[in-house]
A and B are shown apart, each in its own frame.
Chain A
Amino acid sequence: MELTGKMTQLPDMPCPDWSRREFLKWSAALGGLAALDSGGLSLGLRLAEAAEKAGTADEVMTWACCVVNCGSLCPLRLFTKDGRLVRVEPDNTGDGPGQREIRACLRGRSVRQLTYSPDRVKYPMKRIGKRGEGKFQRISWDEALDTIAKELRRIIDTYGNEAVYRQYGSGTTSASINRRNEFYRLINLLGGYMDQYGTYSSAQISAATPYTYGQRGANTVSDMVNSRLVVLFGNNPIETRASGGGISYDLMEARRKGKARFIIIDPRYSDTAALVADEWVPIRPGTDAALASAIAHVLITEDLVDQPFLDKYCVGYDESTMPEDIPPGNSYKDYILGTGSDGLAKTPAWAAPITGYPADGIVRLAREIGMAKPCFIVQGLGPQRHACGEQSARAILTLASLTGNVGINGGNTGDQEGSWGIQFPKLPTGKNPVKTLISFYTWDRAIADPKSMTALNAGVRNKDKLDVGIKFMWNSCSNATINQHSDINATKKILEDEKACEMIVVVETRMTPTAMFADILLPSTTPAEDEDIYRQGSAMEIGYLLISPRAIKPLFEARTQYDICTDLAKRLGVLEQYTEGRTQADWVRYLYEQARKMKPELPEDFNEATKIGLFKWMPGKPKVALKAFRDDPVANPLKTPSGKIEIFSKRLWDMSKTWELPEGDVLKALPEYVTTWECYEDPLRKKLPLQLIGHHYKGRVHSSYCDLPWLVSVAPQRLWINPVDAQARGLNHGDQVKVFNDRGATLVKIKVTPRIMPGVVSLPQGAWYKPNAQGVDTEGSVNILTRTHLSPLAKGNPQHTNLVEVVKA
């Protein structure tokens, strides 16, 4: 494992010398073999249709949307012929000054394979084996809906509405009617449900940032043209948000047009680093706060902090702005300089062995951050998805305050980049009479051991403790239940107990790992089979409204979830209130009329509007977060208790004394670096030496689209491993390996690449779990390895904090 001196060549990678013949070999030979192997595609994608060329007269174009949760939500033009989808085309409504095509990435371009996937759930089914065994029997829609209605009624009558839960899921994100709101609308008419707070995406940063700023918020990416330096912590929009209408494109434009230097801090040389970084600063996962602290040390000791800004706008930087009743020695400056309780100066020399980044490099980085005005400091959601995620998030935010870059053009708050859009209305959900909330990440415990969950130990809100937990679970457009939650082996055991959660309904388009755990499995339509009205997501600076009629008839027995819930409403006696006399098509028109009230320039005639389909608005200038506060902090205070930026949070100080946390977990008033279980400094690393993260992969969005052959063929699942770590284990590029820890194991091929730090491996998150007879996953599903330990403040998902070992399989 020890690295000595210079590491030269990647081990056993193909073709070190690029003669023309060798260039030929990798491509053609592999292509040919794969083609021989493929056996053809099913359903709509036969080659017989390949002769069809673009745009014959009998083709029909229909607008639809790539609905998955990258945040971009790209409009798509679906071409059909004789009732079949034949092609997908991108937004072509104009590009240039004041215009922007929202061009879908490879994921959106593959929706034809999604629609005609051989793994579509075709009919309603009921479980006939043990739960999770995957044995189902086809039943009628009537039997399925009768069963669900009866069980839902029984569970509400027996346990109360708090026992009903809609699983977190983002497989459909922008539709105004389908797949999210329709179940909330139904269950609210029946007395409500236990809701969740937080998300698998951003739990820790969303929980932590309000303690600093009172709210979340950031400058938009287009503002980077005004920056001199852009520093991205664990931020990778090129792969996470690849749309040609959003953040990726804005980032590239800012690089082209602006004057800023770009620095990327990430354990992995991401595609964002490859495209825009002038410098890559690789640091170990979970050590962002150590790096930030050492940067702060240089800023403070070299007089590069913006002292007037800190005095005027911030609380807790030094003793002069500390809240009352806090003993001396607890300011941020004390923590950094070592004049506080730990007596440890957070120097670059201290941070270097933790982060893996050299001390002289940290000094140089800090000076650059301190001197570039303005400096756009921005973080992705990777740094916060850790056991210490809240601390990392706040530590990065603090750098923006130390340098006075908050609330100005070209600067930023340190939060994830901002977006712009128009909040057109969605299907109204009604009011939920149940006020109890749990963290999205605690549903497993709310099934297995609900009575142990309290406000102080598990973040239960609006109630001191849970009484009954989850007995009825509705999953729609969600693969969280098995695939995207942590520790699949532990979760499976909880779900296998049929007396704990008594009814699991899954509404799905395909046979996902979560669908395997359904009691009743219902076939859902895909966007091509639906009619809906969409609005922009949260990853661009464009507002849009998109009217999407049905492009093809629903396949097999698939139904829309509005129709499913309508039929359940009928059985449960709330039909009139549920529909208000409207079909789904009527709701589309109704929501369009509501949108017209916000934007009267929309055509009065709905049919005319449908023909146009896509309407866009662009703000034309960057958004600057907290500008009003910066301009006048007295008139526009923040929503923190002090109204200022709280580098030291008195609220967290108080909570740290009352909240009940497992040994080793801490709440900190300051954005300190903390060590945690399975961090780089955990002694467990002697046994499990590699830190494992799970980056977002270009071939899918979370687990959506994971099974589509085109995407798999251009972006196969691979564990990223550094040549040094591969060599030490006798591994070559393409080898099948076993990745394991005490929670589980998975089999996957490796990508040997210097693009990841030594000592760190990354298994792209979202691959669908598929166990072999020994219970070992065979698809490289990262959550067989992740841990369900709650992060201290958010009670969120630390899914990038893992120790593992890798061996040849």
Chain B
Amino acid sequence: MLKQPAFFIDMSSCSGCKTCMVSCMDKNDLPIGVKWRRVTEFTGGEWMQRPDGTFGQNVFAYYVSMSCNHCDDPICVKVCPTTAMHRNEHNIVTVDHNKCVGCRYCEMNCPYSAPQFNAELGKMTKCDFCYDKQLKGETPTCVAACPMRAIKFGEFEELKKMYGESQYIAPLPNPALTKPRLTMIPSRNAKPGGSTEGMQSNPEEV
């Protein structure tokens, strides 16, 4: 088991296919609407028409796959009134269902929408980094699933050495907020964090 498991997302290879989302649903039997991994589409650009009826444009789009980043400074843990949200012995942020009362403060505070309310259980649920698999030496589901090999996982310090600190890319929140254990290669089309050049364009899908 890794000491500080972290995700690495190669957004320049992410095709937006959502295999990570569906394989996670299958592995974790998630009810409809509960999405432990979410693929956001960030789209922008403008069209112009010339007098001859032809068009010019500067349209761009890219996808960002996000689950829980098991942050160094997890706001969900800080705000949880029952201590249900905690960092477990494997350094994975997880929910103790014996303590969770489903108040959803964690959901309201997490800038990544990682904690997801399960209405059937009346409790919060979230990515547990497939630690059951990791304990057996297996690969987390989304990592093994990714057709483009865009999701990887590893020791946070080692990933940082290879890919640097987490970057502030639209539409992600500023990493200073929660210090996510997340490394990445941004998409070729990526816009800086806070960019208003585009917008999240698939709200119903995440």
Contacts and interface: CB of A to CB of B under 8 A. Distances in A.
Nearest to B60: A274
A104 interface: yes
A105 B19 contact: yes
B32 interface: yes
Interface in A243-296: 243-245, 248-249, 252, 256, 269, 271-272, 274-275, 280, 282
14 contacts: A3-B47, A28-B110, A28-B113, A38-B33, A46-B29, A50-B29, A55-B136, A55-B138, A87-B27, A271-B63, A275-B14, A282-B55, A710-B32, A758-B49
Q: Interface centre among B117, B130, B139, B201, by most A CB within 10 Å?
A: B201
Nearest to A110: B22
B198 to A, nearest CB: 9
B117 A709 contact: no
Contact of A90 (B25, B121, B145): B145
A343 B24 CA distance: 61
A26 to B, nearest CB: 4
A10 B199 contact: yes
Interface stretch (B79-87, B146-154, B157-165): B146-154
Contacts of B31: 35, 38, 40-41, 47
A242 B26 contact: no
Contacts of B28: 50
A40 B173 contact: no
Interface in B29-69: 29-35, 38-40, 43-50, 52-57, 59-63
Given A23-B113, A36-B119, A47-B120, A109 B201 contact: no
A17 interface: yes
Interface residues of A, number: 97
A269 B59 contact: yes
Interface in A1-32: 3-8, 10, 13-20, 23-24, 26-28, 30-32
Contacts of B200: 14-15, 18, 23, 26
Contacts of A41: 31-32
Contacts of B183: none
Contacts of B35: 27, 31, 713-714
Q: Shortest 4 CB-CB distances between A and B: which pairs?
A: A34-B33, A244-B147, A27-B113, A35-B33
Contact of A109 (B23, B63, B195): B23
Given A31-B33, A31-B35, A6 B59 contact: no
B22 A714 contact: yes
A3 B54 CA distance: 10
A711 interface: yes
A31 B54 contact: no
A26 B206 contact: yes
B2 interface: no
A353 B54 contact: yes
A448 interface: no
Interface string A81-107: 000000111101001000000011110
A40 B30 CA distance: 10
Given A110-B26, A269-B61, A271-B16, A38 B119 contact: yes
A591 B162 CA distance: 49
Q: Interface centre among B54, B144, B205, by most A CB within 10 Å?
A: B54
Interface in A299-358: 352-353, 355-358
A723 B55 CA distance: 14
A598 interface: no
Contact of A26 (B13, B148, B194, B203): B203
B19 A106 contact: yes
